[in-house]
Amino acid sequence: MTNRPILIGPGIWEELDSYDKNLKSKFIRAFRFLSMDMSHPSLRVELIRVGSDRFYRARVDPNYRIHFERREDCHLILGVGPHHLQGVG
């Protein structure tokens, strides 16, 4: 288990700001878990394949997910939001 940095673009922070305080804190907790250990049980990470594209989806709560790519040296957050994000898996 190695700590892996998480890259979060400005659009992701804007999306997080639109959620209530409780949900936002759940996302931040999930980011911490993801950074420390991608296999943390509460994340329930799954690999998603869409054609030749591959990315991961991690659970924040029963209704919300983090979609991300795993790179050599970091995790790149692609999107946050409801279980099935428009345009992301």
CATH class of domain segment(s) 6-82: alpha beta
Say what angle helices 21-36 and 10-17 make with each other, to 10 degrees: 140
* Nearest one of 81, 84, 74 to 35, comparing CA atoms: 74
Residues of the chain above pLDDT 70, percent: 90
Domain boundaries, the chain: 6-82
List the single range of 59-63, 64-68, 72-76, 83-87 with lowest mean pLDDT. Answer: 83-87
Identify the sign of the CA torsion 7, 16, 40, 49: negative
- The span from the CA of 27 to the CA of 18, in Å, is 12
For residue 46, is pLDDT > 70? Answer: yes
Q: Is 85 exposed, middle or buried (0-12, 13-18, 19+ CB in 10 A)?
A: middle
For residue 72, is pLDDT > 70? Answer: yes
Q: Which pLDDT belongs to residue 89?
A: 46
